[in-house]
Structure 1
Amino acid sequence: MSIWTELGPITHRVEYLDANGVRTRTLRAGDPEAQAVVFLHGTSGHLEAFARNIAAHAAYDLHAIDMLGHGYTGRPDRPYEIADYTGHLLDYLDAAGVERAHIVGESLGGWVGARTAIEHPERVISLQLLCAGGTVADPGVMERIRTSTRQAVTSDDIGLTRKRLRLLMADDRDATEELVEIRHAVYHQPGFVANVDNLLSLQDMERRRRNLLRPEHLARITRPTLIVWGRQNPFGDVPEAEAMHRAVPGSRLELLDECGHWPQHEQAARYNAISLAFLEGAAG
């Protein structure tokens, strides 16, 4: 199964929007008259992380974006903190004419989505946190992310990109060769190597700590919230998800077996069903 065959059943387009001066790559699909759903990927990721989810969600106005400094989106030369990512997301929503959206965030994307729901609840209809980051500062995990990403970006060896993607998955087969080639091409764009430390800046302990989502922050989330977690998540054990669930009022927690850090990809059929049921309830 290819990304193209995943997207083939529906009309879609990949385009670039000017989000307050940042050229932003976005995949658009679905019903432009429906409520918007915005998909946000993780650290060093790109919109293809949601290829297995787009067609299933086609009843909505869909936006999968490359976040600030990631994928093929513009790369301002500064270390990115969560305020930078949330600002870029809001600028994108303004550029796309989206007043309010369901936010689906994986890893870093969940961190950004949660902060947006806390500080700008008027722009958020509902929130999905897929193996979301931002609630802990684990030096071992941070070093694994930093080292594996920098190795893959600074070397032409596609095997290091393959290794970086497999780190995310419970089953190596989910790191398809198509995804490996896409990510290798992203990592080796002109200028990406020079920018890699900017997009890894939250792996610096001092910077991460000042951006953390603490329980008192999560308690301010008022929008319907779904937390989805893989039981084999290499970047956060189940107690981390359970703590998030306790902190976010009225949230729902789904734990997926045989799943690592990309539940929307590794367990796409199961995730899509859970997400669509949640969105239907939240949309009302």
Structure 2
Amino acid sequence: MEYPTIKDGKYTYIETKGGEETLILLHGLFGALSNFEGIIAAFGQSYNVVIPILPMFELPIREVSVMGLVDHLSDFIRDKGYRKVHLLGNSLGGHIALLYTLANQDKIASLILTGSSGLFESAMGNSFPKRGDFEFIKKKTQDTFFDPSIASNELINEVYSIVNDRNRAIRVIATSKSAVRHNLGDKLHNIKVPTLLIWGRQDQVTPAFVGEKFHELIPHSRLHLIDQCGHAPMMEKKDDFNRFLSAFLQEVSGLVSVGK
């Protein structure tokens, strides 16, 4: 089932309105709605699955930072009137989810992180790629996954177009540097909400040891490592990811299993 993209003032998002509890999904720096197709298909009718499109390239340049995106999320949740949400983030989306949760634990039913930044990440190496270097971008995009064929031509071309747009490339760099500055190693012990960590064992961006460190530092957390899987388990290992997520949400919320 496909859901329309809603544009409401400064917000662009989709919302399934499939259940009483709200599950918000946060994409990463190069993420898109397509990253979460497996979650939408599995949970869209039993949860109100919401995916806000984070304004990576629309914020005023002075506000381009991980905290600028956290502020946008905070405004979105407030203006939509969501009371207590399950918050799931991949990559930079996980970082945003962590920062929001640390400031708003009373509004969080549970936290789910997969390949999250916030402790360590290695996306493009030590320098941003030269514009026009298509093969570099293709290789880096494929390296996001254990199985390089998961990186579709559409995805590779989208990443390439971002890198080769000067305005968007500047914003990517600014956001990435801001994320590095917001290392959360000394704050994670303050997270008190139930937390699920799902990591690919072959993640090259936020390696498996990062997931293990999150598990060590977040008190009420559990960790699942998925073999033959890279940085985006919800794309590459949909069935495993959804099984772990379903069991966790059932425990946290008491809702019936997905599909029943």
Quote the offset at 1:280 in angstroms: 1.3
Quote the offset at 1:146 in angstroms: 5.5
Quote the offset at 1:80 in angstroms: 2.8
Matches within 5 A, 1:91-240: 91-136=75-120, 141=122, 143-144=124-125, 147-148=128-129, 151=130, 154-155=131-132, 162-181=138-157, 183=159, 187=162, 193-204=166-177, 207-214=178-185, 216-240=186-210
Instruction: Rate the CA distance shift 1:270–1:92 in 2: closer, same or farther, 3 A.
Output: same
2: CA distance, partners of 1:34 / 1:108 = 27
Aligned position for 1:262: 232
Aligned position for 1:54: 40
Counterpart of 1:116 in structure 2: which amino acid? Y
2:30 is aligned, of 23, 26, 44, to 44
Instruction: Rate the CA distance shift 1:94–1:184 in 2: closer, same or farther, 3 A.
Output: farther
Paired residues in the alignment total 253
Quote the offset at 1:143 in angstroms: 4.7
2: CA distance, partners of 1:209 / 1:248 = 19
Counterpart of 1:56 in structure 2: which amino acid? A
2: CA distance, partners of 1:225 / 1:65 = 21
Aligned position for 2:53: 66
* 1:3-27: CA deviation from partner (whole Å, max 9, x where unpaired): xxxxxxx251112232xxxx33212
1: CA distance, partners of 2:183 / 2:149 = 33
> Contact between 2:146 and 2:230, CA under 8 Å: does it hold in 1?
yes
Quote the offset at 1:98 in angstroms: 1.6
Instruction: Rate the CA distance shift 1:223–1:199 in 2: closer, same or farther, 3 A.
Output: same
1: CA distance, partners of 2:158 / 2:195 = 31
Quote the offset at 1:65 in angstroms: 2.1
1:14 is aligned, of 5, 27, 51, to 5
Quote the offset at 1:183 in angstroms: 5.0
Helix, strand or coil for the counterpart of 2:240? Answer: helix
Aligned position for 2:68: 84
Quote the offset at 1:79 in angstroms: 5.5
Quote the offset at 1:50 in angstroms: 0.9
Quote the offset at 1:38 in angstroms: 0.7
> Contact between 1:174 and 1:266, CA under 8 Å: does it hold in 2?
yes
Quote the offset at 1:178 in angstroms: 3.9
| Alignment root-mean-square deviation, CA | 2.4
Give 5+ residue unaligned stretches, structure 1: 1-9
Helix, strand or coil for the counterpart of 1:34? Answer: coil
Matches within 5 A, 1:17-36: 17-18=8-9, 23-31=10-18, 33-36=19-22
Quote the offset at 1:64 in angstroms: 1.4
Instruction: Rate the CA distance shift 1:183–1:17 in 2: closer, same or farther, 3 A.
Output: farther
Quote the offset at 1:107 in angstroms: 0.7
Counterpart of 1:110 in structure 2: which amino acid? G
> Contact between 1:85 and 1:112, CA under 8 Å: does it hold in 2?
yes
> Contact between 1:229 and 1:256, CA under 8 Å: does it hold in 2?
yes
